Chains A and B, each alone.
Chain A
Amino acid sequence: MHSDPESIRKHTKMYWMIGGALFVFTVVTVAVNQVHLAIPLAITVALIIAALKGSMVASIFMHLSAEKRWIYGALLLTLAFFIVLMSVPLFTTLDNIGTPTVSPHQSHAEPARH
């Protein structure tokens, strides 16, 4: 990251522009929501815009676009654990242990034995 006064002076205009872009993307997020898209599409669009906004904050305001490798290393490790954490709900829905494999239709077809 550049920290001499002259290069920072050049960056200040970009900070305001990024702020403006974040405002516009927020309006777009709400506008898309007012259209009432199908839920999977609405979730996808909202999260893509949020990810775009988040990456702008991280790369420009937090200066991640020009950081040292130790910080990238720490964040890559965090990303790996974060992916595991976000996969937990997926594992939960895929987990069939303890649930009957017979469908409700089949169970109605077979009379109960006494």
Chain B
Amino acid sequence: MNIPYTVEERPDTGLANGKLGIWLFLASEVMLFGALFSTYIILRVGAVEWPHGELNVWLGMANTFILIGSSVTMVMAWASLKMHDWGKHRLYLILTFVLAGVFLVNKYFEYSSHWSAGELPSKSTFLAIYFTLTGLHGLHIVGGMIVMAYFIGPGAKLWRANPDQFANRIEYTGLYWHFVDLVWIFLFPVLYLL
């Protein structure tokens, strides 16, 4: 069975179904992270005192550079496909995957240093919201890596059968990935600096 409007645009929306679908999904993600940011504000405003300088700013800054870099490589992976350069697409997509892995390794070191110092989520409100927000964000990184691994591996076959559909799938993966980067752009100053 052929799924309609995977490549061609629907006459009513002017969009391929996947594109509208990923944006609606991202809209729901805005509300998910928005609820947690709102919770953070309530907890912070209501707190008598709020810890400052508990997190390693330099490690957080390094992770910001890594995610920004991965956003650039992701958009270049899509652009390379559109320019029919399969080799560069592979290079950029693998680079994005590796950068995502480096982000998680950094996060592992950060988490383990907190845990070894006894700084668990139960210790303070700040640590509870820190682990919740960064943990949920980390899960999104893992989700993105699974999708990228699929398109580096078995999913890459689609390029030969239907290059336009494959390019669209990479575009939707990119939209998700840039959103994950966007969330971190706000998480970094809110948790590490303020």
Q: Do A and B bind each other?
A: yes
- Residue positions of A touching B, CB distance < 8 A: 3-5, 8-9, 11-12, 15-16, 18-19, 22-23, 26-27, 29-30, 33, 39, 42-43, 46-47, 49-50, 53-54, 57-58, 61-62, 68-71, 74-75, 77-78, 81-82, 85-86, 88-89, 92-93
Contacts of B136 in A (CB 8 A): none
List B residues 82-100 near A (Cβ within 8 Å): 82-84
Q: A18-B72, A29-B188, A62-B178 are in contact. List 10 more A-B contacts (CB 8 A).
A: A3-B82, A26-B61, A26-B64, A49-B189, A61-B74, A62-B175, A62-B179, A78-B30, A85-B34, A89-B38
- CB atoms of A26 and B68 under 8 A apart: yes
Which of the four size classes fits the interface of chain B? 35 or more
Question: Is B37 interfacial (CB 8 A cutoff)?
Answer: yes
- CB atoms of A53 and B65 under 8 A apart: no
Chain A: which residue is nearest B60 at the CB level? A30
Q: B119 to nearest A CB, angstroms?
A: 21
Interface of A is mostly: helix
- CB atoms of B42 and A92 under 8 A apart: yes
- CB atoms of B185 and A86 under 8 A apart: no
Question: Is B23 interfacial (CB 8 A cutoff)?
Answer: yes
Question: Is B194 interfacial (CB 8 A cutoff)?
Answer: yes
Looking at A33, A46, A89, A93, the one whose CB has the most chain B CB atoms below 10 A away is A89
Question: Is B154 interfacial (CB 8 A cutoff)?
Answer: no
Chain A: which residue is nearest B14 at the CB level? A68
- CB atoms of B23 and A86 under 8 A apart: no
Contacts of B185 in A (CB 8 A): 22, 50, 53-54, 57
- CB atoms of B57 and A30 under 8 A apart: yes
Q: B172 to nearest A CB, angstroms?
A: 11
- CB atoms of A78 and B31 under 8 A apart: yes
Question: Is B147 interfacial (CB 8 A cutoff)?
Answer: no
Chain B: which residue is nearest A30 at the CB level? B61
Chain A: which residue is nearest B37 at the CB level? A86
If A61-B178, A85-B38 touch, does A74 touch B24 (CB 8 Å cutoff)? yes
Q: A88 to nearest B CB, angstroms?
A: 5
Docked complex Cα distance between A47 and B181 (Å): 16
